[in-house]
Chains A and B, each alone.
Chain A
């Protein structure tokens, strides 16, 4: 059963520290999305890639967030430096550009103290 995997599942860190979240999309999927979910804001699209190229990262705070796809099997989301307001669940999702269906990973629950 193909699934999107994300690591770590939970992360607690202090303000100012760097945080790196990783995502392995479903094999064969060429589109990857990063979302952030909080109680207040719901599910927000941070960035998405197609064929490893960033298509839109307008939802991402550029000064501290960065997203990359070093290869087709790995997507990363980095926060440096982290702040308490970054506390949220970060989801990665993958899909095929032809169908627009998205399959979500289990998320990384980030707490910044």
Chain B
């Protein structure tokens, strides 16, 4: 079993749709959590941090459930420009990072 697991998708949604991604992790000692976005043939870019209290940035909402060891990303009112691969990242207190394999999103007109 991988340390960090994501549904690979692909998720194909129309513009304006709401889409949610989940990510589960196995190391209960994990301390910090992030979502990254990666466009085709580009480097991953930090999208947002994930906190236990949940956090929102415009159309994006991230949440953490420590008891169940999963994090989620919700995208509302999807735009064509949201098409990308979304990677969840889990860090231990020592700073070691483990990336999920990513979930591919395609937003269609």
Partner-B contacts on A (CB < 8 A) = 31, 33, 35, 42-43, 45, 48, 50, 55-56, 91, 97, 100-107
Contact B43 A102 (CB under 8 A): no
| B interface residue count range (under 10 / 10 to 19 / 20 to 34 / 35 or more) | 20 to 34
Tell me if B46 is interfacial: C-beta within 8 Å of chain A. Answer: yes
Contact B43 A43 (CB under 8 A): no
Q: Which of B82-108 contact A (CB under 8 A)?
A: 87, 89, 91, 94-102
23 residue pairs from A and B, CB less than 8 Å apart: A31-B95, A33-B97, A35-B99, A42-B102, A43-B44, A43-B99, A43-B102, A45-B97, A45-B98, A45-B99, A48-B96, A48-B97, A91-B43, A91-B44, A97-B95, A100-B97, A101-B34, A101-B49, A102-B89, A103-B46, A104-B43, A104-B44, A104-B45
Q: In whole Å, how far is A53's beta carbon from the nearest beta carbon of chain B? A: 12
Tell me if B72 is interfacial: C-beta within 8 Å of chain A. Answer: no
Q: In whole Å, how far is A24's beta carbon from the nearest beta carbon of chain B? A: 14
Contact B43 A55 (CB under 8 A): no
Q: Specify which chain B residues have a CB less than 8 angstroms from the CB of A33 in the assembled complex.
A: 97
- A100-B32 contact in complex given A33-B97, A48-B95, C-beta closer than 8 Å: yes
* New A-B contacts (4) at CB < 8 Å, excluding given A102-B34, A102-B89: A55-B95, A100-B91, A100-B95, A101-B34
**Which label, helix, strand, loop or mixed, suits the secondary structure of the A interface?**
strand
Q: Which of A43, A45, A97, A105 contacts B87 (CB 8 A)?
A: A43
Q: Which of B34, B43, B46, B100 contacts A107 (CB 8 A)?
A: B43
Considering the chains assembled together, what is the distance between the CA atoms of A103 and B43 in angstroms?
Answer: 9
Q: Specify which chain B residues have a CB less than 8 angstroms from the CB of A100 in the assembled complex.
A: 31-32, 34, 91, 95, 97
Q: Specify which chain B residues have a CB less than 8 angstroms from the CB of A45 in the assembled complex.
A: 96-99
Considering the chains assembled together, what is the distance between the CA atoms of A91 and B94 in angstroms?
Answer: 20
Across the interface, name the chain A residue whose C-beta is closest to B34.
A101
Across the interface, name the chain B residue whose C-beta is closest to A92.
B43
Q: Specify which chain A residues have a CB less than 8 angstroms from the CB of B96 in the assembled complex.
A: 45, 48, 55-56
Contact B101 A42 (CB under 8 A): yes
Q: Specify which chain B residues have a CB less than 8 angstroms from the CB of A97 in the assembled complex.
A: 95
